[in-house]
Amino acid sequence: MTSNPHLIADLTVAVKPSVTLADVHAAAARLAGVADRTPVLSCPALDEWVSAQVLLKCENLQRTGSFKFRGAYNAISRLNIEQRSHGVIAFSSGNHALAVATAARMLGSTALIVMPSDAPPAKLTAASELGAHVRTFDRYTEDRFALTDRLAAEHGLTLIPPYDHVDVIAGAGSVTLELLNQAGPLDVLVMPLGGGGQLAGAGVVTTAISPATRLIGVETATGDKTRQSLRAGHRVRIPVPHTIADGVTGEIPGELTFALNQHRVSDVVVVSDEEITTAMAWLFQEVKVVAEPSGVLAVAALLAGRVDLPDQRVGAVVSGGNIDLHRFHALLQSRLTRT
């Protein structure tokens, strides 16, 4: 066999971790009958307000209350029998924890969830009730990365990252694949942007089957790590954002997700906490669905006029609905007393 430098170069590119449409199709096939095919809802009042046709992909109605189930299930289902029997580990106090705990149980594995000891008691309880083991740690004295790595090594656990992983991105990408199947062609697709997994998955899917669709991510005004990173041309670390959107408080975009988003995302816009609660109230009163702060970022951006979309067909993902009555009430309290 002759040595061919071009071939070697191609192979080098091929082994760099990436995500393809085939990966998303495979994820969607694994999720069929397991994840919910979540409804796409429309709202005449919203269409009138934004002068566009908006199709809301309601992943807040997904199993475990967020799109995170798709990535977690896809990733765990790819593990071999031995890996599953040893179990998985995840660091999260939020939707990823619920997703990993549930998916692990469904797939005959066990999950160890690492959470800060000051996480809301309801979240600690929820993970336990789903059959997960919970290990708390002190956010101020312990390093969560070191702890997670040590626990994984000690117990032979496989880490399921919240977004920066091929199988997690492929699972998240199934949201967009499903939405395009349900809604038909879209001029614009707007989605909440945290670690960037869902947006990266959307990029993979739309690049392949709907390249004209503009892809827009929405961050909080205080947590615009990807917007800043896109401007800088490399990943930028920001201070821990102060926001009510507790699902999107990361300090730096994922490595893999950023590489994917950098080449596909048309724009990143931001919204304020006030705009987030407006969107929550709107979804409650007009669409009759419950969404959590991080879940409404895309709707908040539309309502605030952050995205220019005259007469276009717009997909917007409502990505999570895990908020209890107490917190929902507390966040909308000012609205209740004001009017």
Task: Look up 319 and say whether it is catalytic.
Answer: yes
**89 vs 127, which CB is nearer to a second copy?**
127
Q: How far apart are CA 33 and CA 306, in angstroms?
A: 36
Binding of residue 289 to a second copy (CB under 8 A): yes
Q: Which stretch binds a second copy (CB under 8 A): 22-30, 37-45, 216-224, 260-268?
A: 37-45
Burial annotation 75-112 (CB, 10 A radius, 16+ → b, else e): bbbbbeeeebebbbbbbbbbbbbbbbbbbbebbebbbb
**27 vs 283, which CB is nearer to a second copy?**
283
- The three-state secondary structure class of 119 is coil
Going residue by residue from 46 to 85, which x/- string records binding to a second copy, judged by CB under 8 A? --------------xx-x-x--------------------
* 261 within 8 A of 196, measured Cβ to Cβ: yes
Number of residues that bind a second copy (CB under 8 A): 27
Least CB distance to a second copy at residue 314 (A): 18
Place of tokens 């896109």: 230
Q: How far apart are CA 41 and CA 206, in angstroms?
A: 21
Task: Return the residue of 284, 306, 312, 313 that touches a second copy, per CB under 8 A.
Answer: 284
Task: Look up 51 and say whether it is catalytic.
Answer: no
Burial of 292 (0-12, 13-18, 19+ CB in 10 A): buried
Strand partners, 190: 216, 316
**139 vs 335, which CB is nearer to a second copy?**
335
267-271 and 214-220 as β-strands: parallel, antiparallel, unpaired? Answer: parallel
Binding of residue 124 to a second copy (CB under 8 A): no
Task: Return the residue of 216, 290, 296, 317 that touches a second copy, per CB under 8 A.
Answer: 290
The catalytic site residues sit at 68, 319
Residues lying near a second copy in the complex (CB under 8 A) are found at: 36, 39, 41-42, 44, 60-61, 63, 65, 281, 284-285, 287-291, 321, 324-326, 328-329, 332, 335-336, 339
